[in-house]
Amino acid sequence: MNLSSIPRRKYSYGPTPIERLNNLSEYLDGPNIFIKRDDLLGLTGGGNKTRKLEFLVADALKNNADTLITCGAVQSNHCRLTLSAAKKEQLDCRLVLEERVTDSYNLNANGNNFLFNLLDAGGITVVPGGSDMMKEMEKVADQVRSEGKSPYIIPGGGSNEIGATGYVACAQEIMMQMFENSLDIDYIVTTSGSAGTHAGLLVGMEGNNHHIPLVGISVNKEKNIQEENVYNLVKRTSDYLNVSNRIDKKSVNVFDNYVGPGYSLPTDSMKEAISLLAQKEGILLDPVYTGKTMAGFIDLTRQGYFKKGDNILFIHTGGSPALFDYTSLFQ
C-alpha cells in the first residue's frame, strides 16, 4: 500500500517512540507492555488527531479552503488540534461544541477549553447533546460563505476515510519499528471512539497482510454499534486507498464494558489506571479516552485475556490536557 501519492501536511517529525513499560509490566505480572507514544505527536499538546489532520488539512488546502470547521465535545482534543493546525497554516477555524453532558460547557474551564481561548478560536458555537452535528456545521459553513470565505468541514474526530489514513500510516510506522527492533507484537490495544484510529490501524495492518489482533476499547458506544461503525469506516478507507485484501468483519473487536456511566464520565478503574501510569511510569493518560482504555487493558490482563509472555502494544492516543479539567477527581 503506497500512501505517497496522497496529499499530506507534516506536523510531526520522525516516528513516535515505542517504549517498554517495565514497571507496569512487573506490577501487573502479566504480559510485556509496550506503549506507542502518540501523545508526543506534533501540534499543541499532541495526540492521535494530529495524524488525521496531516491528511485532512492537506485536503482542505487542495480544495482552496481558508476556514476549517469541526466539532466535538466540550473538552475535545480534536477541536484543540484542529485549531492548532489552523493556526500553523494561517487558516481560520470555527468550532461547534456538543454538550454531551448537560451544562458541561464552561467558558472558563481548564484543559482543552482553556486552550481554545489561548489559541483564539475564531468562533465557538455550543449546541445541546444529541444535536445533528453535521447539520450544525453546515449552518456555520453557510455563515462562513456569506462572509465571502471558503469553509472546509472536518467531521467529528476527523474520522472519515481521509482522516483514518493517518492511522493507516501509523500502522506502517509500527510495522517498520517492529522490524527494526526485532519486536513481535501479539496484540494491539487502542481506544475506539469516533473509530478513525481503530479503523485506520486495522486497514494498515490487514491491508499489509499483518494479522495482529486489534483490541478496541469503547469509550461511548455499545459493542455492536461500535463494531459496525468501525467496520463501515474500514470499508470506506480500504476503498479510498484501493486496498485489495478483503478485511473480515471478524477482525473488528470491541469491548464496551469500561464506559461506565457514559462518555467522559469518571469511573474508579479509570482513576486507578491514570494514577498507576503516572506513579509507575511518569506517563500522563487522560480521563475520557486513554484512562478508560488502560482500565480495560488492566482488567483484561487480570482476567487472563492476555498471557504472561505476550507482547502488547498500547496506543497512547494522547488527551492529557483534558486531565487538567478533572483535577478535583484526584484530590
Ligand X SMILES: *Cc1c(COP(=O)(O)O)cnc(C)c1O
Is residue 252 within 8 A of residue 226, CB to CB? The reply is no
Residue 136 in the binding site for ligand X (CB under 6 A): no
Number of residues lying near ligand X (CB under 6 A): 21
Residues 6+ apart with CB under 8 A from 268: none
**Residue 29 grid coordinates:** 505480572
Alpha carbon distance 55, 32 (integer Å): 33
Supply the angle between the helices 77-89 and 49-62 in degrees, to the nearest 10: 40
- Our finding on whether 166 is near ligand X (CB under 6 A) is no
Given the rule CB under 6 A, which of 16-24, 46-54, 144-152, 264-272 is the region that contacts ligand X? 46-54
66 versus 228: smaller Cβ distance to ligand X = 228
Q: Distance between the two ends of the chain, CA-based, in angstroms?
A: 48
Measured CA to CA, the distance from residue 248 to residue 243 in angstroms comes to 13
Q: Closest separation between CB of residue 164 and ligand X, Å?
A: 8
Nearest to 286 by CA among 323, 261, 259: 323
Q: How far is the CB of 182 from ligand X (least distance, A)?
A: 29
Which residues are tagged catalytic? 76
Task: Out of 154, 169, 188, 195, name the contact with ligand X by CB under 6 A.
Answer: 195
Chain length of the chain: 331
> Quick one: which of 50, 77, 160, 226 contacts ligand X (CB under 6 A)?
77
Amino acid at 85: A
Binding of ligand X by 51 (CB under 6 A): no
Helix (H) or strand (E) holding 123: strand 123-128
- Rounded to a whole number of angstroms, the minimum distance from the CB of residue 81 to ligand X is 8
Chain CA centroid to CA 50, Å: 9
DSSP state of 217: E
**Binding range to ligand X, per CB under 6 A, among 5-13, 85-93, 125-133, 195-203:** 195-203
- Please name the residue that has the C-alpha cell 495482529: 212
Write the interaction track for ligand X spanning residues 274-303; mark x where CB under 6 A is met and - where it is not: ------------x--xx-------------
Binding-site member from 25, 32, 44, 48 for ligand X (CB under 6 A): 48
313 binds ligand X (CB under 6 A): no
Cβ at position 292, least distance to ligand X in Å: 10
Question: Is 197 an interacting residue with respect to ligand X (CB under 6 A)?
Answer: yes
Binding site for ligand X (CB under 6 A): 47-49, 77-78, 157, 159, 191-198, 286, 289-290, 317-319
